[in-house]
Structure 1
Amino acid sequence: MNRLIARLGLLLILIAPSAQAAPQIVPVRSPGGITAWLWQDDSVPVIAIRASFRGGAWLDPKPGVSRLMDALTGFAAGPYDEVSYARQVETLSASISISHGTLADRLNIRLLRDRRAETADLVAVTVTTPIVTPLAFERARQGLLRGLSADERQPAAQAGRLASRLFLGDQFPQLTTRLLPVVDAIQIEDLYSVHRDRMTRAALRVSVSGAISPVELGPLLDRMFGGLPEGGPPPVPERPSEQPQPGTYVLPMPGAPQTHLLTALPAPARDDPDFWSVLVLNQVFGGGTFTSRLKMDLRERRGMVYSTGSALSIGGLRPLWSASAAFAPDRSGEAIAAMTEQWRLLREGGITQAELESARDYLLGSLALSLDSTPAMADFIAGLQQDNLPATYFTDREAALRALTLDQVNAAVKRWVDPDKLVTIIAGQPQPNLPPSLPLPEGF
């Protein structure tokens, strides 16, 4: 997600949407039938566009194709080789990049209002006639191999890979196969097939923020994306139904300087009635503040971890609620016990009214603060589209959080937190005090 094909153009120009008013997102339909969601703000002459194509890495023709595409370091398209393309982007003071996610591929564009026509023409060439030269392909392959080799030595990366395999099973080999041995099987044609099969109008969703009106945006959409093939509706993956066996999985990594602990439980989907309660519970348990329970216990009181926290992962193929910690190898047994105890205390005691109010205030304020730039607003709208949320989500979210009661939240604890169902992964230097490991999947 953080590997972008191009990072060219002007510096991010920050804007400050009103903290009092919700974003006014309006639908736009172009003369050619392309739809978009727009948040108009004319305070700076900048436009940010996110063009998402439903599909993503789970549809890769071979494992690792999307990762290799993210490793490309430059664009060539139509009449432009890499040098002339970069020069054209710089001339327009624009930015164009592509990222390939699990469920969608995204084209990220940032442009100046008075250069929008010329930039749209460059975008059109980029999405209709991309070129991958043998030199660029091999450069990307070598870069990916170096990154994968580094990941093999990182306990956090390997713990995450094992968690993906356990919770996704064998249903999505494009996402769970160990990539280092298979990268050499990828060919240039595999990259072209991804572009041809996934970048279509039927799969396209567009979000826009910045200095452009609905009347101006319609023709611009056709100018950028009107040349894409129509295509058919993208396939929708079936969510995995089987749960991994609860217990401890030990992934030995001799010589690793620190150990990574990851614990995980199933989480509610975005449309589950318990979602808002679990969002608050996660914030109290290990969210992004130094007063979370995990940080106060494992870091401040025990002084045993370098880092710790918890997160809800709800945008992928299986919603998960995970908590993790990194620490010195000789504290592995103590860390597992402490983390498990915190899950148990959460289930048995729930949270307090003060914790509920503090978490709610943080969640409401942090979203508003995050929408501090034109690109950030475009990302926010793109996230709504990807998760099939309404344009009124900003105010809907506030209403849902403010309506939560302590009884609702603590009832959700009993439904979603069960330490006996935890999947516990520990990756790092082998230690004699670790519990026996459940069998690891093939390839680990």
Structure 2
Amino acid sequence: MRKAINSTMRRYRWALSFSLLLLLLLPVLVAAAPLAERRVLENGLTLLVRSSPALPIVTIKATVQAGSLWESKERAGLANLTALLLTRGTTTRTAAQIDESVDFIGASLSSSAGRDFSEVDLTLLKKDIPQGLALLADVLLHPAFEQGEIARKAQELRAALRKRQEDPSEVAEEAFNELVFGSHPYGRPLEGSDASLAAITRDEIMGFHRDHYTPERIVVTVVGDVDRSEITNQIRAVLGSWPKGKGTVKRATEPAPLQEKIVVKKVDRRLAQANIILGHQGIRRDNPDFYALTVMNYILGGGGFSSRLVERIREQKGWAYDVSSQFAPGLERGSFQVALQTKNDTAGPAVREVVRELQRIREQGVTDQELADAKAYLIGSFPLRLDTNAKLAGLISVVEYYKLGLDYADRYRTLIEGVSKEDILRVARTYLRPEGYVLVVVADQAKAALSE
């Protein structure tokens, strides 16, 4: 009885606190429409500007269609290596000179790659925009890809790959992705492998940059204390003469669907705790069921202490300190996974409880209170994604890249509020597969109570 009362009170406090948060931050949410002013320059470059004059700080993000989806299996890691090398020297500046120029104006400049896109990020003071844009344009248009820098960066990546094998959670994640996605880019490490990194040549890096880093494949997002017309002219001055690409490039499409069966991968390590991932393929980001799945997943395992998996496996059973679930959608079908760590001897029982919770939400759906609490949190916490220039630039870039519409901030509340219990039951039955999943367990297998 006491546990039921405590559970009810906890849910009440969550709903109340985030309802209050929503009321306090509602003006921010309303002001977020549209998220930015959009303009396509003459060379095809998409420019998004959000004027935010509260602080004299400006964030500029260049998002490029150049993630690992555009590389071959034999050259895995090419997209990541190309992106990382952008700031390590240009035809007119060495890596050290770039670092010195960035430090001199107190800015930050970085480049990175992901599975769906690559990015170059610049944050600086308003007064230093001309110098900063000159640096940004230089690393985007004129990277040198000097052989010594290539060798150094490849060596760093190989060392990082070896280091990752010491982390059981990373080992589990890598094995899970490989089983779920196979030879698809989503199924391999972003950094590639020892073999693929050794095979990548400077000519291939230059070719990848030439083919993929073109203005019509780039979104430049500017957020901060800027005048829209002025920053547009400044961007046009440094990037407007960038010529369009000369052809089309191919990328990987949907991963091959999984068979409806249970696949178990055991990795034996001398560990006190088992690291477990259970899941399967999920959805694309443009799937209209994304919002119903967001609410469903919050109730299942994405809502922290208010989620069913935490309530059952941590609070009631005491088997895990942390357990969570998530959908990771992308340009192609991403993954759904439940991840947890537990003692070796409770690995089997914990896995069975996870499967039971997947079955339960498919069979019984959710309660009115669970649905109300989930909506209150998801709507109430949304403005926190807009409270810094960096967060706002990231959101705007993602919204544009996945073609979600610049009215996304306004529509988000309506989309979440519109999710019904029937929607939850429908998407749970459609997208959760307790009868066919991939299970990876990194543990001391002699002690792990795991039955297949």
**TM bracket, shorter-chain basis:** 0.7 to 0.9
User: Is the contact made by 2:62 and 2:121 (CA closer than 8 Å) also made in structure 1?
Assistant: yes
2:123 aligned with 1:110: yes
Name the counterpart of 1:179. 193
User: Is the contact made by 1:31 and 1:219 (CA closer than 8 Å) also made in structure 2?
Assistant: no
Question: Deviations along 1:95-154, whole A, 9 cap, x unmatched?
Answer: 221111112111111122222112111222111221233443333222212211122232
Give the letter for the 2:252 counterpart: P
2:175 aligned with 1:159: no
Q: CA deviation at 1:380?
A: 0.4
CA distance 1:152–1:227, shift in 2 (3 Å): farther
Q: 2:210 aligns with which of 168, 183, 196?
A: 196
Q: 1:209 aligns with which of 201, 212, 223?
A: 223
Name the counterpart of 1:403. 418
Give the letter for the 1:97 counterpart: S
Select between 352-361 and 116-125 the one with higher mean Cα deviation. Answer: 116-125
Q: CA deviation at 1:267?
A: 3.0
User: Is the contact made by 2:66 and 2:79 (CA closer than 8 Å) also made in structure 1?
Assistant: no
User: Is the contact made by 2:65 and 2:212 (CA closer than 8 Å) also made in structure 1?
Assistant: yes
TM-score, L = length of structure 2: 0.85
Give the letter for the 2:197 counterpart: V
2:349 aligned with 1:302: no
User: Is the contact made by 2:111 and 2:121 (CA closer than 8 Å) also made in structure 1?
Assistant: yes
- Runs of at least 4 residues of structure 1 off by over 6 A? none
Question: Deviations along 1:61-119, whole A, 9 cap, x unmatched?
Answer: 51123344566696222322122211111122222211111121111111222221121
User: Is the contact made by 1:17 and 1:371 (CA closer than 8 Å) also made in structure 2?
Assistant: no
Give the letter for the 1:43 counterpart: A
> Which structure 2 residues correspond to residues 261-276 of structure 1 after superposition, within 5 A?
261-276=276-291
Q: 1:138 aligns with which of 137, 141, 151?
A: 151
Name the counterpart of 2:22. none
Q: 1:331 aligns with which of 335, 343, 346?
A: 346
2:442 aligned with 1:427: yes
Q: CA deviation at 1:311?
A: 0.8
Name the counterpart of 2:257. 242
User: Is the contact made by 2:289 and 2:427 (CA closer than 8 Å) also made in structure 1?
Assistant: yes
Name the counterpart of 1:253. 268
User: Is the contact made by 1:200 and 1:229 (CA closer than 8 Å) also made in structure 2?
Assistant: yes
Question: Deviations along 1:40-65, whole A, 9 cap, x unmatched?
Answer: 11111122121111131132351123
Select between 69-78 and 162-171 the one with higher mean Cα deviation. Answer: 69-78
TM-score, L = length of structure 1: 0.87
Q: Which has the larger share of helix?
A: 2
Question: Deviations along 1:235-285, whole A, 9 cap, x unmatched?
Answer: 343212421452131232332443221111443434434322211010011
Q: Following the alignment from structure 1 to structure 2, what is the Cα–Cα distance between the partners of residues 202 and 233?
A: 11
Name the counterpart of 2:327. 312
Q: Secondary structure at the match of 1:136?
A: helix
Q: 2:162 aligns with which of 139, 149, 159?
A: 149
Q: Following the alignment from structure 1 to structure 2, what is the Cα–Cα distance between the partners of residues 411 and 245?
A: 19
Q: CA deviation at 1:20?
A: 4.6
Question: Deviations along 1:6-31, whole A, 9 cap, x unmatched?
Answer: xxxxxxxxxx9825533432213446
Q: CA deviation at 1:341?
A: 1.5
Q: Following the alignment from structure 1 to structure 2, what is the Cα–Cα distance between the partners of residues 316 and 32?
A: 24
How many residues of Structure 1 are paired with residues of Structure 2 in the alignment? 421
Name the counterpart of 2:46. 35
Q: Secondary structure at the match of 1:420?
A: coil
User: Is the contact made by 1:153 and 1:256 (CA closer than 8 Å) also made in structure 2?
Assistant: no
User: Is the contact made by 1:54 and 1:234 (CA closer than 8 Å) also made in structure 2?
Assistant: no
Unmatched runs of 5 consecutive residues or more in structure 2: 1-25
Q: CA deviation at 1:428?
A: 2.7
CA distance 1:344–1:249, shift in 2 (3 Å): same
> Which structure 2 residues correspond to residues 118-133 of structure 1 after superposition, within 5 A?
118-133=131-146
Q: Following the alignment from structure 1 to structure 2, what is the Cα–Cα distance between the partners of residues 155 and 402?
A: 39
Name the counterpart of 1:21. 31
User: Is the contact made by 1:27 and 1:38 (CA closer than 8 Å) also made in structure 2?
Assistant: yes
User: Is the contact made by 1:259 and 1:332 (CA closer than 8 Å) also made in structure 2?
Assistant: yes
2:76 aligned with 1:63: yes
Select between 380-389 and 48-57 the one with higher mean Cα deviation. Answer: 48-57
Q: Following the alignment from structure 2 to structure 1, what is the Cα–Cα distance between the partners of residues 186 and 103?
A: 39
